[in-house]
Amino acid sequence: MSRDATSPVLLFDGTCNLCNGSVQFILDHERGPELRFAPLQSDVARSLLRDAVGEARTRELAAPDRDPGSMILLERGHAYLQSTGALRTARYLRAPWRFGTLMLLVPRPLRDLVYRWIAKNRYRWFGKSESCRVPTPELRARFLA
């Protein structure tokens, strides 16, 4: 796996059980170890996000006292938010899961409406952890924080 700045990074809510489950799903179904991961609550995530979208947008998306509300895929200098970030992540999965990218054909406002509804209810439906999950020693190098 490449460790340079061009490697894609998935930023996720480290206290959200749905988000942690999604990261585990990605690890179990990815084509290869291309993605790296960082919880949005970490300094590393805020630094990477600041490089991609600037200081003001970083404060809006990843303020320590604010619900992150979105997984964010950092890929080739771009930050992909909400449904676009989640669906672009499917490109790194094995078939049949990678075909989830076909959902990008659905208009973004409709996709994001569904994404925001799930994000708004994720703690109620799936619960919340008090801390970020600790990866196994084999996976630790893939997690940036």
Mean pLDDT in consecutive groups of 10 residues from the start of the chain, 145 residues = 69 91 94 93 89 82 71 92 95 97 97 94 90 70 80
The strands making up 78-81's β-sheet, listed across from edge to edge, are 36-39, 9-12, 72-75, 78-81
Residue 36's pLDDT is what?
95
Q: H helices then E strands: how many in the chain?
A: 5, 4
**Ramachandran quadrant class, 54 (left: phi over 0; alpha: psi -120 to 50; beta: rest):** left
Cα–Cα distance measured from residue 48 to residue 74, given in angstroms and rounded to the nearest whole number: 8
pTM metric for this prediction: 0.85
3-state secondary structure of 21: helix
Opening angle at CA 82, ends 40 and 129, nearest 5: 40
